[in-house]
Structure 1
Amino acid sequence: MTTLADFAAALPKAELHLHIEGSLEPELMFALAQRNGIALSYASVEEIRAAYNFTRLQDFLDIYYQGADVLRTRQDFHDLAFAYAERAAADSVRHAEIFFDPQTHTDRGIDFGVVIEGLHSGLEAARERFGITSRLILCILRHLDEAAAFATLEAAKPWLNRIAGIGLDSSEVGHPPEKFARVFAAAADLGLKRVAHAGEEGPPDYVWQALDLLAIDRLDHGNRALEDPVLTARLAREAMTLTVCPLSNLKLCVVESMDAHPMRRMLDAGLRATVNSDDPAYFGGYVNDNYRALAASGQLTQADFVTLARNSFLGAFLPDETIAAHLAELDATVARLNGDVSA
């Protein structure tokens, strides 16, 4: 008898909120450090995992940036991307839209081309091996200034054929979306889709700013939007996709427990919520670990998980015909699994 968790895990799905640097597992970190002759401040994989016992976003970001320092060469970025895609494919992910933080690397003297060429080649190798497709989304580090963001956008111009969109991540509190309104307008002029982290630790006003000042196509996180009924109604009315990250929310104490996660309220409010892993090496698991955690909470039904998987394709930056093909596969999978499910 298939459990609800296994049913959810078997569904074909897209992942729309994944920071590639946040998929750097300790084992790969050690291997890359050795390959590049980098001395780590941790003596073992176990010490790194112990350091992941953080409870707020800034503590996580501190270790996140330290870990990223082992990424130096095109091959390093290739290996990082391929390793993520292999895990995602095993989780029935058919398509992934992947954030990367060029400033994290260019500020260390790594050429923009090294980063994107390595990521692209790794994802292409994964597509050929596993059939998983992907898009790259350039994220701006919001704790840096507007000038740095514009410089990054300029550096990206030779590679726009490999970049689907622009995003906004890093420390949210104290760095409102309005800080980058002109950058996002320039990105829109270049034909890039726009997404932004808002409403994770920041207030509902940050979500309003992301909508009205950044003209986002998709909202990353968005949990705190539920504090504003007018905002919640707008998100539902406009079918704005929310890329929700349950295990991340738990690890960073955005929620007290998985039983208290707002996913149930999001679906009841008609929000186009999706399930994603955020920074899986740091937050306790990849996308199916998030699906299973929600299943264990007892909040959701089989139909809810089908809705979440369907939302992930509807929110993807893919042609309509490709989305339709993914939805047809989803329907066929549900039909095959139906009748062999127990809650």
Structure 2
Amino acid sequence: MTMTAASTFVLPADLDAFIVGLPKAELHLHIEGSLEPELMFALAARNSVAIPYASVEDVRAAYAFSNLQDFLDIYYAGASVLLVRQDFHDLAMAYFERAHADGVRHAELMFDPQTHTDRGVPFADVIEGLLSAMAEAEARFGITSALILSFLRHLSEEAAFETLAMAEPWLDRIAAVGLDSSEVGHPPAKFERVFAAARAKGLKITAHAGEEGPPAYVHEALDLLNVDRIDHGNRALEDEALVARLVAEEMTLTVCPLSNHKLCVVDDLADHPLDRMLALGLKATINSDDPAYFGGYVADNYRAVAAARGLSREALATCARHSFTGSFLPEAAVAKHLAAIEAFVPES
């Protein structure tokens, strides 16, 4: 039996090995949200940045969130230690090492440039640090990756346009734009024009919708932003017609179980709707969101729902398949990864 550090869930050793070995992609990962307290303290010391915590234990004790905003407050405080290109490289490599251990074959990293450029950190240092780590991860681990430039929705659309302009020299190395930060009170409609501009530049589109925000936000993401996938999407289940539409359009949902529990989107993982989503025909995937803050990386999220909801191996494999078909990879790469899943599952 194996108990994860991220939870109290206990799994049979063979099921744990299946979860780790299952080829998978991670589609909903905020790279700033993978900043572990140990690295936060190391970077604070390296960069002579004062942080409001005396120890790693103090940081972890602060991870008692009652809502999204509580989390965001500490998230932005932690990001203050990220100042130079090497910091972003080290941050991403720490994530890739964990992803490799979890059986991740492809990762699509969301990054929040406004969190850094608003502090005076050059856009170039942020993205070049991430790109160098992505290249190293592919060379060392065989993990392919892509970048998703996320706009902070609590800021203005004008600020988002400014960020898109900053990104212009790197657009050939950015796969998509996204929308994150405080959802309530900041509907997708607020950013309709900047997403249209991004699509015109050839970028894919994704957006957080239906985490804390209502089903109407999911409708707006579909109708106004023309998204290629939905991040979270839990509250779509409150609208039967919306569910039917998501199924018909084969819209991928990037579900984050431990995040949902930590941020009180669900009160108990035993009540998590992931298996209901699958039963309805939704293309749900399993992701870690901000793993340093929410208690686990992607395999921990697979473990959590497997234990809490009794998900079968086939259900877990279905989520892994969705993670590749919902990715921004070329069709040939998707087919290769799907074949790897089919080769793995009968042997397990």
Same fold (TM over 0.5): yes
Aligned 1:1-343 pairs, distance under 5 A: 2-337=13-348
- Cα offset for 1:283? 0.2
8 Å contact kept, 1:6–1:292: no
Residues 86-142 of structure 1: CA deviation (Å, up to 9, x unaligned): 100110000000100000000000000000000100111111111111000000000
Q: Which moved more, 1:278-287 or 1:295-304?
A: 295-304
Deviating beyond 6 angstroms after TM superposition, the runs of 4 or more aligned structure 1 residues are none
Q: Separation in 1 of the partners of 2:34 and 2:152?
A: 18
Q: How many residues align?
A: 337
TM-score by length of 1: 0.97
Contact 1:5–1:296 (CA<8 Å) still a contact in 2?
no
SS class of match (1:3): helix
- Is the Cα contact below 8 Å between 2:20 and 2:101 reproduced in 1? no
Q: CA deviation at 1:302?
A: 1.4
> Contact 1:177–1:210 (CA<8 Å) still a contact in 2?
yes
Question: Which amino acid is the alignment partner of residue 200 of structure 1?
Answer: E
Distance 1:237 1:301 in 2: 25
| C-alpha deviation, 1:190, in angstroms | 0.4
- Mapped contact 2:21–2:102 kept (Cα < 8 A): yes
- Once the two structures are TM-superposed, the CA of residue 332 in structure 1 deviates from its matched residue by 0.7
Per-residue deviation, residues 222-276 of structure 1 (Å, max 9, x unmatched): 0000000000000001100000000000000100111100101100110000000
Matching residue's letter, 2:297: Y
Contiguous gaps of at least 5 residues in structure 1: 338-343
Check conservation: 2:157, 2:190, Cα contact below 8 A.
Answer: yes
Please identify, of 290-299 and 248-257, the stretch whose mean Cα deviation from structure 2 is larger.
290-299
Q: Counterpart amino acid of 2:305? A: L
Alpha carbons 1:112, 1:156 under 8 Å: kept:
yes
Whether the 8 Å CA contact 2:221–2:227 is kept in 1: the answer is yes
CA distance in 1, matches of 2:216, 2:153: 16
Give distance in 2, aligned partners of 1:99 and 1:174: 22
8 Å Cα contact 2:206-2:228 kept in structure 1? yes
Deviations 1:274-301 (A, max 9, x none): 0000000000000000000011113311
Answer yes or no: is the 8 Å Cα contact 1:259–1:299 preserved in 2.
no
Give the drift of 1:2: 4.7
Per-residue CA shift, 1:153-177, capped at 9, x if unaligned? Answer: 0111011111100000000000000
TM-score norm. by structure 2 comes to 0.96
- Assess if the C-alpha contact under 8 Å between 1:5 and 1:295 holds in 2: no
Secondary structure of the structure 2 residue equivalent to 1:195? strand
Instruction: In structure 2, give the amino acid aligned to 1:171.
Output: S
Deviations, residues 297-342 of structure 1 (Å, cap 9, x unaligned)? 13311110110010001001011110010011111111211xxxxx
TM-superposed deviation, 1:39: 1.5
For residues 66 and 276 of structure 1, the distance between their equivalents in structure 2, rounded to whole angstroms, comes to: 23
C-alpha displacement of 1:6? 3.1
Partner Cα separation in structure 2 for residue 105 and residue 2 of structure 1:
42
Are the counterparts in 2 of residues 101 and 140 from structure 1 also a CA contact under 8 Å?
A: yes
CA contact (8 A) 2:209 2:232 kept: yes
